A and B are shown apart, each in its own frame.
Chain A
Amino acid sequence: MRWLKYIALLAAVVLSMSAPVVCFADDDSSHASVPESEVDVAEILLGHTADGYGWHITNWKGKHITIPLPCIVYSSTGWHVFMSSKLEHGHHYEGLYIAEEGRYADKIVEIGPDGQEKRPFDISITKNVASLMITAILLIFIVLSVARWYRKHDATEEAPGGFTGLMEMMIMMVYDDIIKPSVGEKDYKKYAPYLLTAFFFIFLANLLGLVPFFPGGANVTGNIAVTMVLALFTFFAINLFGNKHYWKEILWPDVPMFLKFPIPIMQTIELFGVISKPFSLMVRLFANIMAGHMMVLGLVSVIFVTVKLGPVINGSMTVIAMLFGLVINALELLVAFIQAYVFTMLSAVFIGMSRSDGH
């Protein structure tokens, strides 16, 4: 059990690091003129997993350090393009402001003619959009640099090493072990680019989501809009190229007549299946990544919640939270891969079902 030694060492390091923090926190609360406000765990969890107009990095000496991002809004007064720093701390800009609460909390709103808050058409480059762009640029850079190796070398004569070799291994793993058997030998080549792009996009976005500081840290694949678009792509890939057999199975399956005519029971069930397949893809990816982020954030919040309970409990809870956080983060690393794998495999299986010639 050699790893027990390492865990003990790690616990010791974490303890020694947390001790000054605990003292400091203790000091702070006893001398502070204003009583510390209650730590709002729900606010921390939702605030860190939600989208935002600026990219909040950290607090430094009581000030928010935020990367301003461009806001692009089409309101009743036309197009508005400005930096998100203009709206910080409840400032109004050209009649637009970020709602404090209500239906549109934390979104840009304007006051409508009826005096109610109204949501304008908003395609701002939010934190998630910026993160998507970073993911996209990184992915394009990685894949094209790998592809360049193949352009410059005669791949029939030599095999790549290093990072290109690793990428080749992963690409061929997805290609040979997921796409080929799931879609079927007949036309897997046609769908491979989409499925490979989906896999690496999700995987890279998941991994970047696990990095807690700037280029990463956004909850991209844990956002329902992102997974919805991915699921819609799969939906179209399934249904736009579904063959005759696939549509017959839905619209006129081989079941007793009373099940499909005059009341289309089977058709209803089948159509429900058509919708639920991509819907399950959407919710699965979203929920898994969101839950992972929530768990890590929750464990980190434990440290701040227990500050009030005294240094002993706070210190020991810090160690426990760090250890659990470490385990959960390692698990999330696995989940990042598994969810990309599952999304790609299920998409491939659904596509394969829409292309099969029957059984």
Chain B
Amino acid sequence: MNLMLPDTGLLFWMTVIFLIVLFILAKFGFPMITGMVDKRNKRINDSLEAARIAEEAIATLQQEQERIIAETRSEQSRLMQEAAAERDRMIAQAQDQARAEAQKIMDDARVRINEEKEAAMKEIRNEVAQISLAIAEKVVRKDLSDDAAQKQLVDKLLEEIEG
């Protein structure tokens, strides 16, 4: 029994069996498995890469968002300031207008008052003249003979009236 001497029959069968196993597994076994696992590894790597890109995009979007929010804030405050200024301006304008209107009404009223006063004065004068005439008539009827007396009387009457 020689341990180190390979047996012909076993050599033959080992070669045949191993060739068959190798053929079957190399054709239908291992390339299928390793290929699919490689494919999956590739997909996992791709997915990780895609996730990284998406994360970057999200970070960019977030920055953009923050920028837009800040912009909106400043725009808002600017608009508020503008609106306040406009409001103040409008109020001032309205006040001015109101003041001018009031002035005009006052002026008109003053003019009308003066006119009314003039008219009233004129009427009073007429009235006075008529009254004077009436007085004069009475006076004339009483003492028409004396000129000096007449004149004296008229003045006296006038004084009385005006006084």
Contacts and interface: CB of A to CB of B under 8 A. Distances in A.
Interface of A: 46, 49-51, 105-107, 121-126, 128-129, 132-133, 136, 139-140, 143-144, 146-147, 150-151, 155-156, 159, 167-168, 171-172, 175, 189, 192-194, 196-197, 201, 223-226, 228-230, 233, 290
A194 B22 contact: yes
B10 to A, nearest CB: 4
Contacts of A228: 6, 11
Nearest to A47: B1
Given A150-B32, A225-B7, A290-B3, A197 B21 contact: yes
Given A51-B7, A156-B40, A197-B25, A147 B14 contact: no
B1 A143 contact: no
B25 A139 contact: yes
Q: Which of A143, A151, A167, A189 has the most CB of B within 10 A?
A: A143
Given A123-B13, A172-B34, A197 B3 contact: no
B33 A136 contact: no
A225 B39 contact: no
Contacts of B34: 171-172, 175, 189, 192, 196
10 contacts: A140-B25, A143-B33, A146-B29, A147-B28, A147-B32, A156-B40, A171-B33, A196-B25, A224-B4, A230-B18
Contacts of A122: 7-9
B117 interface: no
B149 interface: no
B43 interface: yes
Contacts of B28: 144, 147
A51 B10 contact: yes
Contacts of A196: 25, 30, 34
A223 B32 contact: no
B18 A224 contact: no
A143 B11 contact: no
Interface string B107-144: 00000000000000000000000000000000000000
A150 B3 contact: no
Q: Is the interface of B mostly helix, strand, loop or mixed?
A: helix
B37 interface: yes
B36 A150 contact: yes
Q: Which of A128, A156, A233 has the most CB of B within 10 A?
A: A156
A126 B10 contact: yes
B25 A229 contact: no
Interface residues of B, number: 34
Contacts of B17: 129, 132-133, 136
Interface string B39-50: 110010000000
B103 interface: no
B9 A126 contact: yes
A190 to B, nearest CB: 10
A168 B13 contact: no
Contact of A125 (B13, B15, B29, B31): B13
B30 A171 contact: yes
Contact of B21 (A46, A125, A168, A201): A201
A136 B29 CA distance: 13
Given A144-B24, A172-B37, A229-B11, A193 B30 contact: yes
B30 A129 contact: no
A171 B35 CA distance: 12
A155 B40 contact: yes
B5 interface: yes
Contacts of B32: 147, 150-151
B25 A159 contact: no
A185 B18 CA distance: 26
B121 to A, nearest CB: 113
B90 interface: no
Contacts of A140: 21, 24-25, 29
Contacts of B3: 46, 49-50, 224, 290
Closest 8 CB pairs of A and B: A193-B26, A225-B6, A155-B36, A225-B10, A143-B29, A229-B14, A150-B36, A129-B13
Contacts of B21: 136, 139-140, 197, 201
Nearest to A101: B1
Q: Which of A128, A144, A167, A197 has the most CB of B within 10 A?
A: A197
Contacts of A123: 8-9, 12-13
B28 to A, nearest CB: 6
